[in-house]
Every structure is written in C-alpha cells, then in structure tokens.
Amino acid sequence: MSEGKVPLSVKPAVPRHVAIIMDGNGRWAAARGLPRVEGHQRGVEALRRTIRAAGEIGIGFITIFSFSAENWSRPASEVGELMGLLRRFIRNDLAELHQSNVRVRIIGEREGLDADIGRLLVEAEELTRGNSGLTLVVAFNYGARQEIARAARRVAEQVTSGAIKNADVTMETLGRFLDAPDVPDPDLIIRTSGEQRLSNFLLWQSAYSELVFVPTYWPDFDRAALELAIGEYQQRERRFGGLVAKTGS
C-alpha cells in the first residue's frame, strides 16, 4: 500500500466540524430574473436541508456564515430583509431544532444589535443549551479579524489585571478568548458559488482546515452537494504541518 493511502476496508472519516460560507443567493436570483430577497429566502430552505443532512451524516458541528460584519454596508432594504429572515428562521425553526436535539451557538459581535435580535439570539442559545446532538454555530455580525481583536483585548485586560503574565501569553492563551473556544476547529470549510476566498471567516480556526469550493449557488445546495464536498475532503491527506498524513478528523 502506498504511503498516505487509506486501506479500502477502512471507512473514510466523516469530518467532525464542517463550516460553510453560504454564497450566491443574489446571483441565483439574478440568473432567474427574481429579486435578491427571493434568493435569500431560498437560501434559508437550503440551510434547513443542510442542517438535516449534517445530522443524518454524523457531523458533530456545523458553522454557517449567516451575516458578516461587512454586510451592514449593503443597501438598507436588503439588510432589513436579511434581519427579517433571521427573525423568522429563529421563530419558526427553533422549536424543530430543539426537538431534533440540535444545540445552537452564536459567534460574532452582540453589542449594537437591535434589542429584539439580541433577545432572539439569547433565546436560541438558552433553549438548546442542554442538547447533545449536532451543534449549529451561527456566525452572525461576525468577522474573523474582529474576533481576533476582541480576543486580544480580553488577553490584554487579563495581563493588566495581573491574572496572566505577559510572558505566559501563547497561541493557546489567545485561543481561549475567542468567541467559542470549546468548539473544535473546522476540518472542512465549504464555499458555494465558485468564489475561492475565506472573506474574513474563521481565519484563526482555519489554519489547517481543508477548503472545498463548489460552483453551486447556495439556494441549490443539498445533501448530494454536501456529500460530494465531504467525499473530496476524504481524499485529502491531512498532515497538519508534518510529514505523515493523519486519517482521523
């Protein structure tokens, strides 16, 4: 058997954590002569399909890039539509997620959000806190550079107070002050629509993630597309900077 190849008798590992940049809603709508909001609405349907499929496949964590810190620069009408979709998703889908034993986590900046949005985010986390199935991490009002800056400020406060010595600040120290330090780094990051960049998403956590870029616009993403991306991931040799491939996720 050649070096780095997995024996045929060994079932390829399912990634423990899959993160998704859900891209292409607007272009999906434009290609069909529809308003952008229709693309976002269809994107919510794709999200429901993907969450259901992830749980059935055996993925432990799925992180979705739902709204970036930079998205506020979009037209006010579109931002309003996106906030409306978030409100409806939580109000309409939270009970089903809870019933399905899904735990919801939120990462991103909470300060400055509309009060009702903030309450909905807290409700989603509190209601599902005790669930032990799939963990759905929602990156909302999120930017990776902003997250790292928040963590650095928290570390600086600890150093100033004397809780941590300056000489003891390490990568692990900073990592403990990220938005969700207990969530494992993503094994696989998928971006839809054919774009090939991370766009300020999980920059710290993606240091050794496998990246798969698919041409499908997000509203058309389904279980088959997810399984194809996982299949590509399973063909990769993950060395984490070393010489020997690691087959476990």
C-alpha span between 157 and 163 (Å, rounded): 9
Asked whether the beta carbons of 128 and 137 are under 8 A apart, the reply is: no
Q: In terms of Cα–Cα distance, which of 123, 106, 28 is closest to 64?
A: 106
C-alpha span between 85 and 90 (Å, rounded): 9
CA angle 55, 56, 62 (to 5 degrees): 25
The residues annotated as belonging to the active site are 23, 71
Q: In terms of Cα–Cα distance, which of 89, 144, 143 is closest to 117?
A: 89
Which stretches within 58-143 are classed as H helix? 76-99, 115-128
Asked whether the beta carbons of 218 and 24 are under 8 A apart, the reply is: yes
Residue type present at position 95? A
